Structure 1
Amino acid sequence: MTEPHPTVNPPVEIPELPVGTLLRLHPGEWSHCAIVPLGMYLEMTLSRIHRNTVHADRAALWVWVVGHEHPACTWAHVDSHPPCLHLLVRIDVLTAAADR
């Protein structure tokens, strides 16, 4: 199923990252997580990128990303459960991760 493209001018390309990609996020590269204090280094195993809404601020473009905190969540070794993390991630950070 394809999601609608976000309404951003000019259009922005959101990279394709496979489920299970390990994202290493430094302070300032992510925001709005309810369980991790801002300003912390965070590693997460990607479950999904919500491509239908892009948020813009003066510094960057952001998308909602969901996944599991790595290595604290052992999601791969237990019964399936909803993603532990819901946060905004800068699109340029996702692009850099896709280029690795």
Structure 2
Amino acid sequence: MNERPPHLVSPSIPDLPEGTLLRLAPGEWSHCRTVPDGHAPDVTVCRLHRNVTRQDGAGLWVWIVGHEHPSCTWPHVESHPPCLQLVVRVDVLNRTVEP
């Protein structure tokens, strides 16, 4: 038996450089207390947590942290740690990095 069991195979998650802008629609993200359900947040990515994933009927999800765009990029907003933590569907990330 040369194949690894499915639960031990690392999922394919694209590289998202810091500063990537994600335009998320409802249903493409979850688990963020500061963003109301049904909202379509724009997020500037700070970090992708490749080791924190989950799978459900909608697909594979991964945790990201970042800043709500554009409110955190306005000149009067001081630099601060990432203000959003949410899970995003990996297919959405793939769509973002495709040429």
Q: What stretches of structure 1 of length at least 5 have no aligned partner? A: 1-6
Shift of 1:74: 2.2
Shift of 1:94: 0.5
Distance 1:31 1:90, change over 3 A: same
Alignment-derived partner of residue 66 in structure 2? 67
Alignment-derived partner of residue 44 in structure 2? 45
Alignment-derived partner of residue 80 in structure 1? 79
Distance 1:73 1:99, change over 3 A: same
Residue 38 of structure 2: SS of its match in structure 1?
coil
Alignment: residue pair count: 94
Distance 1:32 1:77, change over 3 A: same
TM score, norm. by length of structure 2: 0.84
8 Å Cα contact 1:24-1:41 kept in structure 2:
yes
8 Å Cα contact 1:50-1:65 kept in structure 2:
yes
Whole-Å separation in 1 of the counterparts to 2:47 and 2:71: 18
- % identity of equivalent residues: 57
Distance 1:60 1:70, change over 3 A: same
